[in-house]
Chains A and B, each alone.
Chain A
């Protein structure tokens, strides 16, 4: 087996620091997920409503977030808020704000898509059966929507976890930054360490995202 330099991780507290970096990444993305999913469901439902003004504002919001690279959003919140309002958010708070805005926007569009994909005859049949509006949603529409939403939102959640690799640009020391620090500090002693350490980083991201995929699979089967 070639020397991958993984032994570098055993020096000092390197491995703990790397895991700490993963902890930072997970903390930021999971807080953002926890806030943005319910918010996205609410906004998505509003988007299928009839109020033209609300629909226009939500559409504008969605398009703005969708065309902006996450890195630009991070810079706008982290540096822009200081320039405009003199407000000094920490890097971590800025990241949570951006990821929440982003997650809510994308989630709302997923919810909107899932809702309008339910054929009209489902609503009509429910009415014909004498179900109330609440019952129609509770027993017919929402179960079908949720089932359609699961794979889509898992995609979004895992994407949010992985995109935390950008927040090193606003000074948050997360897993990728720790990995770069470890590689660079050992540039002379173990020049090959980059490959081995990124390999470990890959496995750590995998371990973070895998349980979420498993849960999605379980839910999909349960609700089949």
Chain B
């Protein structure tokens, strides 16, 4: 009884930590918050994962999936244009386009499970989905928890500024040219570390930062490059002067740790899809309306190969 209660509290704590951790990170990926709490969360989570592996593996192997005729894929259902549900109730988006193809080539039916940014790892660790295709940024912390396949998209930071005074390099800016960022994002952390001389103007929400740029409070806005590209294509008079800034992160499918057969199958699939330029086609079908054709090669990773 007491032993079970301890287990229960450990799980509760692990869940709470994971939730807190990933909530801070958001879909932006490697947030600065993954410090000491991250280590604690990992320890607890792996401690309880051992319990399950004693009674048998949590995940389904490739053969088991093929036998069941259905693959469970965790996706976003409300993150347009990566994974969303259209007006007819069908899943759509960049991730889904790939997921459909993956299921088809494995010869199984795709069963989509709606996941949230905060519970994607937990879904894999408990075997509730076979693979996560939910705009999942590869980070070192997450590699401890799940196994990532080859990447299929790039993410990094980008800089948008008014068309009449496009900022092409952050080195040209002085302390008198305030730069807009959203607090708590990877953009903020990156600028503080790499451009300590810049004056940052911090806003809490996307809407406030957008207003600030429109009012001319800052000379440029630094954010995830997908966000700034979408902003520039939606609003006239703005241009993305720097489409990739700082370290490049990637988006990749993830499977439960040690599910090697499925991981190999997905990696093989991504490699062979590279020969037919599948992800470029995916981009043209799903992302081009939001990001424009100019950035296709910056965002798409083909065949799992990043330069």
Q: Which residues of A contact B (CB under 8 A)?
A: 11-14, 17, 68, 72, 75-76, 79-80, 82-86, 88, 168-171, 173, 177, 180-185, 187-188
Contact = CB atoms under 8 A, between A and B. Distances in A.
Contacts of B125: 79, 83
B56 A86 contact: yes
A11 B85 CA distance: 13
A177 B77 contact: yes
A173 B77 contact: yes
B205 interface: no
A12 B87 contact: yes
B15 A180 contact: no
B79 interface: yes
A76 B49 CA distance: 14
Contact of B49 (A13, A83, A171): A83
A182 B49 CA distance: 36
Nearest to A90: B128
B18 to A, nearest CB: 9
Interface of B: 4, 7-8, 11-12, 15-16, 19, 48-49, 51-52, 55-56, 58, 77-80, 84-89, 92, 113-116, 118-119, 122-123, 125-128, 234, 289-290
B12 A72 contact: yes
Contacts of B128: 79, 82, 88, 171
A88 B127 contact: yes
A82 B116 CA distance: 19
Contacts, number: 102
Given A173-B114, A177-B114, A188-B290, A76 B126 contact: no
Interface residues of chain A: helix, strand, loop or mixed (majority): helix
Given A12-B86, A83-B11, A182-B87, 13 more contacts: A12-B87, A12-B89, A13-B88, A13-B89, A72-B16, A75-B15, A79-B15, A79-B128, A82-B127, A84-B8, A86-B55, A181-B85, A184-B78
A150 B52 CA distance: 45
Contact of B87 (A14, A83, A84): A14
Contacts of B51: 83-84
Contacts of A169: 116, 118-119
Contacts of A12: 86-89
A82 B52 contact: yes
8 contacts: A80-B11, A84-B7, A88-B128, A168-B114, A180-B77, A184-B79, A185-B87, A185-B92
A72 B49 CA distance: 18
Contacts of A185: 78, 80, 84-87, 92
B68 to A, nearest CB: 13
Which of A17, A82, A88 has the most chain B CB atoms inside 10 A of its CB? A82
A84 B118 CA distance: 21
A159 to B, nearest CB: 22
A56 to B, nearest CB: 13
A145 to B, nearest CB: 33
A72 B15 contact: yes
A36 B283 CA distance: 50
Nearest to A173: B114
Contacts of B56: 86
A96 B119 CA distance: 20
